[in-house]
């Protein structure tokens, strides 16, 4: 899923991990490969590519269990967020140059049609529009891989996929796991947070940026405008029990913008950190309770490089 994977094992859980943890790692890789086959819009042979290529034609298919769960989760997220989360922006990503597997001949339903899927009987579905399961798909892949580790008796681990992670139990020193809040400008971490039995997801414009006709754009598309969000934010991080929902809310809060994010995140009781377009790190009270360290000075000059507000 265009993300480096890393598994770190912590203290001994209910059952010891055999050998050097190779079997646990192999299980994670196999789980992600299965998720990639189901949900990757960049893979020519993935299930979602085959569904996307006939989107808008009322062609019915029976998805695998993972793809079905992903489509249902994406549709539920769209409904819960009143359309602020909308995976049907794939056509817009392609139009703007962030292309996956070719979708030649696709005739999607109008953008005003909001449903992610149409159910056709108990098991079959069709797609009104092509969908991108990138963020929520990675969150679900983390969910499933972490669940497999727990089922295999691995009680203490940190599983990372790019900027997202799932933490269970404690590290090798029986302390919480520590993770950095990345500086979107590419500097050192802006903060370090302590996590245990939780997931963390980040929506950021640091990596997926490119130029089109002289303007720099990014992959976080606002479904209201079908264009990259101009929200006054560079990155949003959310900690929740589930990585897929952490992904959903990090993107929704990013799209909501700098003016709305504090009130929106607090009203939902979310642990949320965000970096504004002037480099300021801000956070909710729930996030401050998880924050172990915050950068306040430049190591070379001693000048303040970010402000922190709760």
Structure confidence by residue, pLDDT tens digits, 229-272: 888 999 999 999 999 999 999 999 999 999 999 999 999 999 99
Beta bridge partners of 222: 227
Beta bridge partners of 168: 157
pLDDT of 304 above 60: no
Q: Do domains 42-132 and 176-309 have the same CATH topology?
A: no
Least Cα distance to 199 among 171, 163, 167, 176 occurs for 167
| Rounded-to-integer distance, Cα 220 and Cα 145, Å | 25
The pLDDT > 70 percentage for the chain reads 87
| Rounded-to-integer distance, Cα 70 and Cα 58, Å | 19
| Residue 111: per-residue pLDDT | 61
Identify the weakest region by mean pLDDT among 83-92, 191-200, 243-252.
83-92
What would the mean pLDDT of 82-101 be, rounded to a whole number?
Answer: 87
What would the mean pLDDT of 273-290 be, rounded to a whole number?
Answer: 96
Confidence of residue 307 (pLDDT cuts 50, 70, 90): very low
| Residue 301: per-residue pLDDT | 31
| Residue 229: per-residue pLDDT | 84
What is the DSSP annotation of 179-247? Answer: EEE--TTSSS-SEEEEESSEEEEEEESSSSEEEETTEEEES-EETTTTEE---SEEEEEEEESSHHHHH
Q: What is the mean pLDDT of the chain?
A: 87
Taking the domains of the chain in order of start, what are their residue ranges? 42-132, 176-309
| Residue 112: per-residue pLDDT | 60
| Residue 123: per-residue pLDDT | 82
Per-residue DSSP letter, 52: H
Q: 112 Cβ partners below 8 Å, 6+ apart?
A: none
| Residue 20: per-residue pLDDT | 60
Strand order in the sheet with 308-309: 5-9, 157-161, 164-168, 198-204, 233-240, 271-276, 281-283, 308-309
**pLDDT tens digits, residue range 43-76?**
999 999 999 999 988 888 999 999 999 999 999 9
Which has more confidence, 210 or 120? Answer: 120
| Residue 270: per-residue pLDDT | 98
What would the mean pLDDT of 88-108 be, rounded to a whole number?
Answer: 81
| Residue 8: per-residue pLDDT | 95
From 3.40.50.10140, 3.10.520.10, 3.40.50.1980, 3.30.70.580, which CATH number describes the 176-309 domain? 3.10.520.10
Query: What is the largest distance, in Å, between two alpha-carbon atoms of the chain?
Result: 65
> Angle formed by the axes of helices 65-80 and 134-151, to 10°?
120
Q: Which is it for the CA torsion 234, 240, 245, 249, positive or negative?
A: negative
Confidence of residue 300 (pLDDT cuts 50, 70, 90): very low
Single pTM value for the model: 0.89
What topology does CATH give the domain 42-132? T-fold (1.10.3980)
Beta bridge partners of 216: 211
In this structure, are residues 182 and 34 in contact, taking their beta carbons and an 8 Å threshold?
no
pLDDT of 100 above 50: yes
| Residue 310: per-residue pLDDT | 40
Beta bridge partners of 294: 191
In this structure, are residues 120 and 112 in contact, taking their beta carbons and an 8 Å threshold?
no
């Amino acid at each position: 899923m265009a993300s480096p994977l890393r598994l770190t094992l912590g203290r001994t859980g209910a059952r010891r991990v055999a050998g050097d943890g190779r079997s646990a790692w192999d299980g994670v890789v196999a789980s992600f490969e299965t998720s990639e086959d189901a949900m990757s819009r960049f893979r020519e042979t993935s299930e979602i590519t085959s569904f996307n290529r006939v989107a808008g034609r009322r062609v019915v298919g029976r998805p695998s269990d993972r793809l079905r769960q992903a489509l249902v989760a994406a549709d539920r997220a769209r409904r819960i967020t009143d359309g602020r989360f909308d995976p049907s922006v794939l056509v817009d990503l392609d139009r703007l140059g962030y292309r996956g597997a070719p979708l030649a001949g696709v005739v999607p339903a109008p953008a005003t049609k909001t449903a992610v899927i149409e159910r056709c009987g108990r098991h079959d579905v069709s797609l009104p529009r092509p969908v991108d399961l990138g963020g929520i798909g990675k969150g679900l892949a983390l969910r499933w891989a972490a669940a497999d580790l727990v089922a295999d008796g691995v009680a203490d681990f940190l599983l990372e996929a790019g900027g997202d992670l799932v933490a269970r139990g404690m590290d090798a020193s029986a302390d919480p796991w520590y993770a950095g809040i990345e500086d979107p400008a590419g500097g050192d971490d802006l903060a370090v947070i302590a996590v245990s039995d939780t997931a963390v997801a980040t929506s950021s414009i640091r990596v997926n940026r490119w130029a089109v006709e002289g303007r720099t754009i990014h992959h976080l598309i606002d479904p209201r405008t079908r264009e990259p969000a101009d929200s006054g934010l560079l990155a949003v991080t959310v900690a929740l029990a589930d990585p897929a929902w952490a992904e959903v809310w990090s993107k929704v809060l990013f799209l909501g913008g700098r003016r709305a994010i504090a009130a929106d995140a607090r009203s939902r009781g979310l642990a949320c950190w965000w970096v504004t377009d002037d480099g300021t790190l801000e956070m909710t009270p729930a996030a401050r309770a998880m924050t172990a360290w915050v950068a306040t000075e430049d190591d070379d000059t001693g000048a303040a490089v970010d402000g922190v507000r709760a």
